[in-house]
Structure 1
Amino acid sequence: MNDQTSQTDSAPPHQPRVHPQRANASALIYNESGAYLLHLRDDRPGIWEPGSWSLLGGGREPGDRCLEETIRRELREEAGLDIPDLLPFAVERARSSDGTTIPIQIFAGQWSGDPTDLELTEGVMLHWFRPEVMPRLRMAPSTRELVRRHAELLDAGRYGPAPSTTFADADTTAAGRPQQQRTRSAAATSGRPVPTIIGVHLYLENAHGEILLGLRHPDSAYAGKTWHFLAGHCEQESAVACLVREAREEAGLLIDPGDVEYVHAVHLIDAPGTPPRMQLVFRARHWTGTPEILEPDRCVSWSWWRPEALPEPLVPYARAAIDGVREGRLYTEWGWT
């Protein structure tokens, strides 16, 4: 994490002051014994959390094509570390010195080396700590909570990337139609059972038969600079409740749950090594409000599109879902061997 930010859990979810360009990436590194690699920061004024234990990471630079490149570059520069398998785990937020919030993509990966053998170029030292020791350490509560969540999934054998954290770019043909990519899931590549992640998507048509789509922010954790449904993931709630909440938080749309109907599902594997996802699509027959940009770190524009003239680039499974809805089909499989 760069020196001008501090982690925050208090930013209002519906009106964050998000920095329009900056984004950070951090690495949650764990070993086969369930310990986590922490970085002791320099104890000097003017930096974030001086003298505290933190995760390795930093800010995206102009030459980084994506945040995965950012974290791999930071690991090399800060500690000479190269971890082959880094998976997106979560998206956190930090508050910068000017009061805006900055998204932080958290990647998780396993490494079992000796940190004393690494050439540390920033901070004081690296050390392995078990999660139960961390309450005694000087560290940000949000970092401690992040480790706790990951450790619980790891102990339960249910570890996989968290919702909305996949960076893989889906392939399309020259005509923009989705190709049926055949990939192996995280379960197939790791030998461990991996639960299917559930996503919900809003299929909204106006009186002219146009479909609402949003252009995702260039630094979005998933599908940057790409058009997509209004979408989200369930947070201890039903799928319809999630859809209603996401519509309100992301675009200021008010939807009665009774006006929601299921219209399609895409069961897919997005890229090799990622967990399977069940993408549920619901249509709202009625709603109140005009789409607004309320989460500018995720979506920079809402527009209505004719189904025969959809924008490019468009998330391939969203296009497949639109085709399915218009053809009256309820289910599509994508990427399975």
Structure 2
Amino acid sequence: MPLSLSHLGDLLALYLERHPGERGALGPLRAALDAGGDPASRAVLPGDLAYSAVVIDRDRRVLHVRHRTTGRLLVPGGRFEDSDGTLSAAALRTAEEETGLPASSFAPMPGFGAGPIDIDVAPARTPTPTPTPTGEEPAHPQYDFRFVFRLADDAPEPVPRAEEADGTCWLPFDQVSSPGLRAKLNGSGPTDGAVPPSSFPSGSVPQIVGVHLWLERDGKVLLGLRHPDSAYAGSLWHFLAGHCETESATACLAREAYEEAGLVIDPADLDLVHVVHLLHRPGVPPRVQLFFRARHWEGVPELREPDKCAAWRWWDPKDLPDALVPYARAAIEGIGTGRLYTEAGWSR
């Protein structure tokens, strides 16, 4: 689907909350987004949009690709295509294409969520012809939205496309060429996403937020069969689901839908249909499980993470499998009766 101004605006707002000192440099882009219009049009945006994938391994190194034409070492990146849906999905696609690694090799880096780690403002690498008196286009910036991903420990070696790249290499944070990205990486500290206990109000405990996709076709709902070796719910059927990082619930679910099944969903097309407040057992953090119905989506469910999901299947809500995650069954029953809220695991 085409890139939306609301998507760009949300990403920019989230970024500026973390980096208010960059409001000046990003002011023209912010003003253009506030004015509305087609984000693909130069008449609307004051420059070009680009994206990059910052892939980090367990040794805190960043994957770079050496481009054949220029010899430069760059992180994977490119320009948006309508089939991408979101900039983070575009970055993930390009990471796959330029490194030869499967999508299952990449995961969100805890602590960064769906928003960009850096937005670089630089002159466009390749000018676009425009009808000017001199035949040359005035200088204009390029806005590079950079998204960070964690490399899976069992990922294979990257094999870049020979026609475009001479090879790949891993660079430590302090050798990353972009000053802005280097500063943010070096200032990130441990990326475990932990929040100091003192930041919570007295007497409260953190609650994990889970998101689940209610995808319905011909009266049937999509469920996935968890891999037998999965750390959670092995050999049970469950919704396409994930846990929120530093991101909105709908943005998280749109990301998970693409990463797990190759489905493209606009967060604006997700409606909350049920909530399960779940306590698995005493002593573990409670979970707030949110279920969203997609009013529109693109794509056919794929097994993009076969180590987690072994099959996708459409099920009649009135004829569900016996091997189904209990709170998922409770949510399906609640949605069927129009009930919005369920509690599970709590003693009364």
**What TM-score does the superposition give when structure 1 sets the normalisation length?**
0.48
TM-score relative to the length of structure 2: 0.46
